[in-house]
Structure 1
């Protein structure tokens, strides 16, 4: 798919992977609407993206709510006059031991990371189908492929989103709407700012621009998945499929240090 002139809605587009992808898309001539919960951040991102005359609008809304999803989609349709690509990117994470995470934090992850993209996709499907060549881009996480300790709920909802994406891809096959699933590894974004785990326990961060470039390539080539993390992450994915107990042992060896590093990870 050639993104030039395409009308694209990006949730969580005011920072991180969403904003980096928006920058890459406007450089290729796409028309955008970005959304986020914080109006100040959305306005600042729109102003930044409009440099050079790009066609970008912003919507301040919480996609985890019915009203927020309605405001988001109606705002995008009003600004763009239609929709070619929906990128479900908004996310929330809270790491730590399951019995130490509050119920409201668990429910927030379920609503933001899983329920919101499912319901927003359902609402956007008529517009995407009307164009005869639409696309849905679901940003999940590498944790959907290898579930790490102390991320039980986050791993569950991201794996759920990945399965939703796979099933929907097959459901829409031959109907003009393609589904692309993105599995970022650790990425240098504001969402990761409170995570103190380092390379000693397997956490390394790549630039958001690198993930964005891979997403654009996936859109242009209409691939079904973008998996980040390089050969080391792929080796871990393969090991998890072939011998999950070996990976359990590897996590056990760094468990205490890993817990200490991620227990402050809070991006809700």
Structure 2
């Protein structure tokens, strides 16, 4: 299936590893020129080498999106090097784990900056170009915690749904201008974060036991969903939050 996005410019934040790199890989495979941004220079350099294997133009920006000025700078640099952003994949590391009594107010501040306000700033930075051209895709990466609270992940349970609310509302505001806004909710995906939470094979197998397909997902499997939502084939999909969790969630609606 031709997704119709060859030649588009994609910006993927948190794109040096895990789900972000999986999304960047899927978009590059579909012919997009890709800018990835992240905080770790070594991982960022490795990601560029890997993505260049698809034969497209790849650019990297070292940035920490907790910095209020970073989103604007990343979008401007992408525009200067590759052109205006057609596809934004707003992805970032999840908040620290912990129960209510275990997370401090500083942790709340970091979670809101990293996982909510960074998305707001990125959207504000890319929307003028998207609106002027009458085409754009904004795709946020959150978590299955948007749909179903996860024990021990209070901050994710609290902040991620705010992003889903932003997506649903923004989609209604800009959909008529050719800009589609959607959210992806990964479940257990094989990333450093997941393996950091389940440090033994026994614990990880216990986590997998609740997944009907019998395994954790791969970053590329989330990436392929992102690529579809970015595509012309998804031109009537707007404002949704899509689970990619192997059927783990028991919530019906």
The 2-side partners of 1:186 and 1:232 are apart by 9
1:39 to 9, 34, 41: 41
1:159 to 158, 161, 173: 161
1:14 to 16, 21, 45: 16
**Residues 174-189 of structure 1 correspond to what in structure 2 (within 5 A)?**
174-189=176-191
Larger deviation, residues 117-126 vs 202-211 = 202-211
CA positional deviation for 1:232: 3.6
- Segments of 5+ residues of structure 1 without an aligned counterpart are 242-268
Whether the aligned pair in 2 keeps the contact of 1:83 and 1:131 (CA below 8 Å) is: no
Q: Secondary structure at the match of 1:64?
A: coil
What's the RMSD between the two structures over aligned residues?
A: 1.7
The 2-side partners of 1:213 and 1:173 are apart by 22
2:226: which partner in 1? 215
More helix by share: 1
Whether the aligned pair in 2 keeps the contact of 1:180 and 1:219 (CA below 8 Å) is: no
Whether the aligned pair in 2 keeps the contact of 1:63 and 1:72 (CA below 8 Å) is: no
2:118: which partner in 1? 116
2:7: which partner in 1? 5
Q: Secondary structure at the match of 1:179?
A: strand
**Residues 1-268 of structure 1 correspond to what in structure 2 (within 5 A)?**
2-196=4-198, 197-200=203-206, 202=210, 205-220=216-231, 221-222=233-234, 223-224=237-238, 225=240, 226-233=242-249, 236-238=250-252
The 2-side partners of 1:190 and 1:131 are apart by 38
Whether the aligned pair in 2 keeps the contact of 1:92 and 1:108 (CA below 8 Å) is: no
* CA deviation profile, 1:49-87 (whole Å, cap 9, x unmatched): 112532100000011112222221111111112111111
Answer with 1 or 2: which has the greater Rg: 1
Q: Secondary structure at the match of 1:180?
A: strand
Whether the aligned pair in 1 keeps the contact of 2:138 and 2:181 (CA below 8 Å) is: yes
The 2-side partners of 1:84 and 1:114 are apart by 21
1:247: which partner in 2? none
Larger deviation, residues 79-88 vs 98-107 = 98-107
- Count the aligned residue pairs: 237
CA positional deviation for 1:199: 4.4
Show structure 1 runs of 4+ deviating over 6 A: none
- Segments of 5+ residues of structure 2 without an aligned counterpart are none
Q: State the TM-score, normalized to the length of structure 2.
A: 0.87
